[in-house]
Amino acid sequence: MSTIEELARRVKDSSIRLAAVGTEAKNKALARIASSLIERKKEIIQANEEDLRRSKLENLPMPLLERLSFGAEAIADAADGINDLIKLEDPAGKTLLATELDDGLELYKVTCPIGVIGVIFESRPDALVQIATLCLKSGNGVLLKGGSEAMETNRILAEIIREAATKSGMPEHWAALLETRSDVNDMLKMDDYIDLIIPRGSNDFVRYIMDNSRIAVLGHADGICHCYVDENADLDMAVDIVTDSKTQYVAVCNAAETLLVHEKIAPRFLPELRKQLEKKNVEMLGCPRTRELISIDPATDDDWKTEYLDYKLSIKVVADLDEAIDHINRFGSGHTDSIITADKQVAVRFMDYVDSGNVFWNCSTRFSDGFRFGFGAEVGISTGKIHARGPVGLEGLVIYKYKLLGNGHIVEDYASHSKTFKHRKL
Amino acid sequence: MSTIEELARRVKDSSIRLAAVGTEAKNKALARIASSLIERKKEIIQANEEDLRRSKLENLPMPLLERLSFGAEAIADAADGINDLIKLEDPAGKTLLATELDDGLELYKVTCPIGVIGVIFESRPDALVQIATLCLKSGNGVLLKGGSEAMETNRILAEIIREAATKSGMPEHWAALLETRSDVNDMLKMDDYIDLIIPRGSNDFVRYIMDNSRIAVLGHADGICHCYVDENADLDMAVDIVTDSKTQYVAVCNAAETLLVHEKIAPRFLPELRKQLEKKNVEMLGCPRTRELISIDPATDDDWKTEYLDYKLSIKVVADLDEAIDHINRFGSGHTDSIITADKQVAVRFMDYVDSGNVFWNCSTRFSDGFRFGFGAEVGISTGKIHARGPVGLEGLVIYKYKLLGNGHIVEDYASHSKTFKHRKL
């Protein structure tokens, strides 16, 4: 039985070899993983039923049981996802820059896999399949750590994925599952082996990961998204966008949680909005000025920093654009914020000054999503400001290296001025 | 007197406004900073002399005193550097991607400043000027923390920079100097205000910063760079490249520290190399097989992980390319490694499998440098694998945001299939 560190070291060693594997070979391995999942679905379902049975006995709450369930349909979806992933462009091996530094001395900046990705996820077994295959597509090794409730499902999924990939010629240890006995905290300390952590789970879970590791984390804890209805907004458009942002799907990070309304439009807008939101059973909480216009319960300062993930909206009337911007930058989570206005100058100022990964004009916050953005895959949504931000596609799993090709070139020739650099773009 | 946190919060607030300032206005402010440095050089020299006087009394070692010195020439150089920086392209405001998601719904991925950069540096006052102006050029706020030995110099430099920038219309608090009473550790904890830390100083200093902050760090601690002389290397070329990599300037991170030699070429190569290195007074330490070929002192395992920064080279004979690659990936620091070979296939394998920011073929390790690469400026050299790697130019100080411009678009229309995405490249 290997120790966790040995496991991690083997994944790191394999990741070096995986990084050099070509696109076609990686895609073949992905195809084999997809077909293996289908072929071996009975084993998966059996393992999942065991997890479900045990978890029920342990009184796992219903929503968690639902997330844990991984039946025939979910397996087919996972395989479809892999087949879509195969069609996407390989993010590694792209030349970002090519410069002739001097005659015969050529510099290339080429994308390459990051190395080893640590993935930590709660219940959902589909997260394991999705992230492991995203890592393979981009050439990264992956250390997977799932929740104990999905132990059997994760084990069989990891086995199927590894076996299919290995039979297709991938380095044997490119992926490894950390068994549930091991602690998440062990993984958070492995900065010698893990280059990036991707957490998938509840806000509290993600925040814990972010607060307890020196390894870079790609993700988001809260999604406190705002709509700001400017004085020059089209009323109907504003009602539609706020309603969609709040209610189209309440349980997700890009749903709006707070509405800001310019004081000049508030008396006309808020009663209209209320009609619409009441139809959807949205509970509204307002600042004192809001409550002068529509009779709803009061919002406290805590509401401005709360992600309801529910049919609930906090509302604040603001004096002007700058107050809206300040509120968003103070209470927001840097996720997605949208302005509704007919005034272009105001919209541009909003998008320049709001310090969020996604700044929208006249459209729903719900659009911030890798698939809607056309990325074909989504590694996660990042509220960080380093490496990757907003919805992150496969490009978030690569970095680059500089390759310099010479013919005996030495620096002394340039230091002594017997040669000079040309820096010609290739 | 402000507390450090208040100071940091003000810089963060100002950074939001600075992010929206145009290229021309930032360049004007940079020009004014350059001319102010020249105009007020007497004050700077006076302050620096006070630092030097005090530091001598405190018996600061000579090399540190030399680094601390900031006279008329250094001031002129700093001003020249700023004038060069003005000519560079603004890294912010570039459109990286433009997609029409559907009719009238346009997505733009646009570069923008990261936010607030924390700069921690030892003695050298020129580091303060250089990094503060790099931050201004890229639109970032900056918190500066210098060493106590340069207290007076740092204070006047920060004052000049801030005053010149403010008079040119920059937000007042975009830059702040943390006075020397405050601890570096306070800064390392300010992840609410600082988005990226750039340390400038000795290896131990940088390592300490990296090991003690959850904030992302752009930099490198060690530079353990390798040359690998393959069996098919041109002997003269190999001697020249290894000599340049080791001796062209020994005190820098991109100087070679370890030489790996293929066993088939070692008997011919090592005696030739030795002749050349002895002329430069390079001390050589070798593995047992090296010492069978040339009589030098033995290298221990510690030597493979030591950055000498001196006229000293460790040498190891390897059985093949893969042993060389494994050695580099195990003992190297991911900085710069060069292969000397006439065999293209071998070179490609080396560049694919060596996991370093800079992988070179038939040229000196000393080329890994932002200016030699043609970047015009160098923010630092990063051995990290997230965000930026290798020599980092101004682009290392920006991230991006997504701007989505619609006309009342809501997600429900797409969820209900009454509309479909087009994802047309603009």
The 10s digit of each residue's pLDDT in B182-225 is 678 888 989 899 999 999 888 888 999 988 888 999 998 889 99
Q: Tell me, what DSSP letter sits at residue A411?
A: T
* pLDDT > 70: percent of chain B: 99
pLDDT in tens, B71-83: 999 999 999 999 9
| Contact call for A404 and B358, based on CB within 8 A | yes
Distance of CA A404 to the CA centre of its chain: 33
Least confident of A111-125, B91-105, B228-242, B273-287: A111-125
pLDDT in tens, A172-185: 999 999 886 677 88
Query: Token pair of A140, please?
Result: 């990264």
Q: What is the mean pLDDT of residues A151-164?
A: 96
**Which residues in chain B touch residue A192, judged by CB atoms under 8 angstroms apart?**
none
Q: What is the mean pLDDT of residues A99-128?
A: 94
Q: What is the mean pLDDT of residues B10-34?
A: 97
Given a contact cutoff of 8 angstroms between Cβ atoms, the answer to whether B113 and B106 are in contact is no
Residue type, B295: S
Q: What is the mean pLDDT of residues A106-124?
A: 94
Cα of A362 to nearest chain B Cα, Å = 5
For A251-279, letters b (16+ CB in 10 Å) and e give: eebbbbbbbbbbeebbeebbeebbebbee
pLDDT in tens, A245-303: 999 999 999 999 999 999 999 999 999 999 999 999 999 999 999 999 999 999 999 99
List the domains of chain A with CATH numbers: 4-218+393-401 (3.40.605.10), 225-367 (3.40.309.10)
Given a contact cutoff of 8 angstroms between Cβ atoms, the answer to whether B227 and B148 are in contact is no
Position B123 pLDDT exceeds 80: no
Residue numbers of B between 152 and 181 with CB closer than 8 Å to A: none
Within an 8 Å CB–CB cutoff, is residue B196 touching chain A?
yes
pLDDT in tens, B152-165: 999 999 999 999 99
Query: Token pair of B127, please?
Result: 């580091």
Higher pLDDT, A4 or B131: B131
Q: What is the mean pLDDT of residues B234-251?
A: 97
Cα of B384 to nearest chain A Cα, Å = 8
Residue numbers of A between 338 and 357 with CB closer than 8 Å to B: 347, 349, 351-353, 355-357
**Which residues in chain A touch residue B353, judged by CB atoms under 8 angstroms apart?**
16-17, 19-20
Given a contact cutoff of 8 angstroms between Cβ atoms, the answer to whether B335 and B356 are in contact is yes
pLDDT at B31: 98
Position A76 pLDDT exceeds 70: yes
pLDDT at B1: 42
Within an 8 Å CB–CB cutoff, is residue A403 touching chain B?
yes
Show Cβ contacts of residue A159 under 8 Å, excluding neighbours closer than 6 positions: none
Rounded-to-integer distance, Cα B33 and Cα B44, Å: 13
Cα of B372 to nearest chain A Cα, Å = 7
Within an 8 Å CB–CB cutoff, is residue B235 touching chain A?
no
Q: How far is CA B407 from CA A161, A218, A364, B230, in A?
A: 44, 31, 10, 62
Distance of CA A262 to the CA centre of its chain: 32
Model-level ipTM above the cut of 0.90: yes
Residue B110 — very low, low, confident or very high, per pLDDT cuts 50/70/90? very high
* pLDDT > 90: percent of chain B: 87
A240 → closest Cβ in B20, B362, B410: B410
- Helix or strand holding residue B72 (H, E): helix B72-87
Residue A1 — very low, low, confident or very high, per pLDDT cuts 50/70/90? very low
Mean pLDDT of chain A: 95
Least confident of A62-71, A348-357, B301-310: A62-71
Query: Token pair of B317, please?
Result: 């004979």
B374 → closest Cβ in A360, A411, A421: A421
Residue type, A258: T
| Contact call for A19 and B367, based on CB within 8 A | no
Nearest CA in chain B to A349: B20
3-state secondary structure at position B74: helix
Show Cβ contacts of residue B105 under 8 Å, excluding neighbours closer than 6 positions: A363, A367, B404, B405, B406, B407, B409
Query: Token pair of B167, please?
Result: 């008079």
CB contacts < 8 Å between A and B, how many? 227
The single residue listed with the structure tokens 């990286």 is B96
**Which residues in chain A touch residue B423, judged by CB atoms under 8 angstroms apart?**
374
| Contact call for A101 and B362, based on CB within 8 A | no
Higher pLDDT, B122 or A281: A281
- Helix or strand holding residue B128 (H, E): helix B125-138
Cα of A53 to nearest chain B Cα, Å = 34
Residue numbers of B between 47 and 66 with CB closer than 8 Å to A: none
pLDDT at A334: 96
Within an 8 Å CB–CB cutoff, is residue A251 touching chain B?
no
pLDDT in tens, B350-367: 999 999 999 999 999 999
Determine the number of helices (DSSP H) and then strands (DSSP E) in chain A: 16, 17
SS3 of B295-361: the string is: CCEECCHHHHCCCCCCCEEEEEEECCHHHHHHHHHHHCCCCEEEEECCCHHHHHHHHHHCCCCEEEE
